[in-house]
Structures are given as structure tokens and as C-alpha cells.
A = this chain, B = another copy of it.
Amino acid sequence: MSLPPMQYRFLGRSGLKVSVVSLGGWLTHGGHTGDELALQTMKRAYELGVNFFDSAEGYAAGKAELLLGKAIKQFGWEREDLVISTKLYWGEKPDGTKGVNDVGLSRKHILGGMRKSLARLQLEYVDLVFAHRPDRHTPMEEVVRAFNYLISTGQALYWGTSEWSAEEVADAWGVADRLNLIGPLMEQPEYNMLKRDRFEREYEPLFRKWGTGTTVFSPLRRGILTGKYDNGIPEDSRAAKEGGWFKDEVSGAQGAQTLARVKKLKTVSDKLGCTRAQLALAWTLANPHVSSAIIGATSVTQVDENIAALSVLDKLTPAVLEEIDAILENKPKADTFRYD
């Protein structure tokens, strides 16, 4: 199969270009997948034009960063060609314990966590650093100042947020503008066919007012959108093993309805000549506010399958998108702009 060429988008209003498909380290790096397999996955993604590799101090207690750093060294990738991210919030000792100042967005942890992340990555700087969650115990001014410190000391090029509310991002911009500091450029939320409301409704003013870029995760809703649960949860699947919200999502009356919708999407993907995974990924990218969709591919084959979804993108005409909306029945009603 000949794969479509990678596409690149500006990260929000910035001048930085990221590949529309990017590789995340949540699953693949240092976690569920063996190291050698993960390295091959990264290599393949890079060869296919992926330039953005996403990581976090909290992924597998730092092991994701260690492996990403190893890949960069081992494959001799040129630093300028890469967009490397990490996220700070959930620091952890290598043994899994947490000191009282290892968690959150205090200046102490943002500076200390960054130091350790860079050491694990064997890098002098990351391109993107995210506040992995909001921290309502730390004043916004302390948070904004600390991330600006990372930028002004060259340890990071841009800072952003992950799973913050629109109000919190607005607050950060207000503080940054007041202090003549740099505001958060990008948000990393979940966004996929089954989880749309925050991205399409709550975040709408962020795109309009501050040109927020997004690097969205779980475009396949942890695999649900691939159709692999069409016939229930396989016993060896993560859903069955881990329980929690994920199992809930595909169980009961609500879960049955979700799975029925996912099944119905097959009529669309068949028509377009692609898999449902590819349809789901392309659908995410059809939203122009998505700068990059982070895939959690755990094998070279999965990388190829995911990137092949780019050829579906052009086929998502307004008519097809409407057809999908009719199946999903979850399109957020946009807040009206004027009440007249």
C-alpha cells in the first residue's frame, strides 16, 4: 500500500508546524509495549513524516521520556526536525512514590520537574511543555510565571495546557497579558467522535480569541471507534481487564447504544473504502482547530494504518460529515453569538 504524504499544520496561531498525526507515549513508550517494539514504532512514524512526539513526566513514571530520549539519540534524528513535548504535574520518583512537592503546578515543581524531564530525555530543551492539569491550589500568576521562566531560560519553546477548562485558559491569558508574559499556546484535550462537547462548544472561544492550538488525544476513544468491541468486550481487552470508566462506557444500555452507533459508522467507512479507525482519525482531523491528533500506535502496522487515514480526509465532504453527525446524534449546539 502506498501511504499518503504527511500533512503539517500550524500549532494554533504560532508559526510552529506539527504533523497532523503525532505519536504519543502514554501507551507505547515505557509502558504496555516492549521497548524494542516501541522504538521501531517511533522509527516508522518518523520515516512517514511524523515530527511531533508527545510525552509527559507522568507517563510510566518517566519511562516514556527515557525511551523517547533513547530513540532520538539512537536514530540520530536532527533536533531541529523534531517537535518534542512533555507535561508537568504528576511527578513521581522512579520507585513510584511521590514527594509532597512532586505534584501540581507550584513554581518549585514546574522548575524541578522540568529539570528531571530534560535529564530523562537527554535534551537541552523541549519544544512544548504542558501543564498536565489545572492546579487550583496554585495562583494562576505563579503558574504563568513559572512556565514563562522555562521559556525565557531556553528549556521550552512554547507552553500550553492539558484538560483545562476554557475559564482557566482565559484566566491564564488575562494574567499573561497583564504581566506582558507569554500565554498558553495549546491545549491537549481528548477529542473524538464520542467526546465532542468540550472541544466543539466550550473551547470555541479559545480558538476565536487566542488562536489556541490543540494536540488531541484518544482520537479512537481507546479503540472503541475501531469497531473491535462490536461483539462485546473480549476478555483479554484492556476494557475487560481494567474496568472503570472504560468498561462502563461499553456496558449497559448506554454502552449498547454507543456500540450500535459505532457499528452504524461502518456504512460510512465502507462507502469511503476505509476502516472505521481511519474514518474516526480523519474525522478528528477534519476539524480545523485540531493541530495534531496523537495516536497511540503500538506497532509499525498500526502506524501505517493510522497514517493511511490521511487519504480519507479529502473525502469528508460536508455531506459525509452530516451523515456522520446523524449517526452520532451528539453534535453540540453552538452557543449563539447574539440573542436577536
Give chain A's interface residues, CB within 8 Å of chain B.
8, 10, 13-17, 19, 51, 78-81, 83, 89-91, 93, 98-109, 111-113, 116, 127, 133, 135-140, 142-143, 145, 149, 151-154, 157-158, 165-171, 173-175, 177-180, 182, 202, 205, 208-209, 211, 335, 337-340
Number of copies: 4
A170 B180 Cβ-Cβ under 8 A: no
Q: Nearest chain B CB to A74's CB is how many angstroms away?
A: 20
Contact yes or no, A106 B16, CB < 8 A: yes
Q: Which residues of B contact A99 (CB under 8 A)?
A: 51, 78, 80-81
**A204 nearest CB neighbor, chain B only:** B136
Secondary structure type dominating chain A contacts: mixed
Check A178–B171 contact: CB distance below 8 A: no
For the complex of A and B, list the 4 residue pairs with the smallest distance between their C-beta atoms, beginning with the closest. Answer: A174-B174, A15-B138, A15-B106, A166-B167
Task: Give A148 Cβ to nearest chain B Cβ, in Å.
Answer: 9
By the criterion CB–CB under 8 Å, are B107 and A15 in contact?
yes
A235 to B78 CA separation, bound complex (whole angstroms): 43
Decide: A112 and B79 in contact? CB cutoff 8 A.
yes
Q: CB-CB < 8 A to A169: which residues of B?
A: 167
Report B-chain residues with C-beta under 8 Å of the C-beta of A102: 80-81
Given contacts A51-B99, A136-B338, A174-B177, 6 further A-B contacts (CB under 8 A): A8-B100, A14-B142, A17-B100, A108-B157, A167-B170, A178-B178
Question: Which chain B positions have C-beta within 8 A of A154?
Answer: 111, 149, 153
Docked Cα-Cα span, A149 to B149, in Å, equals: 12
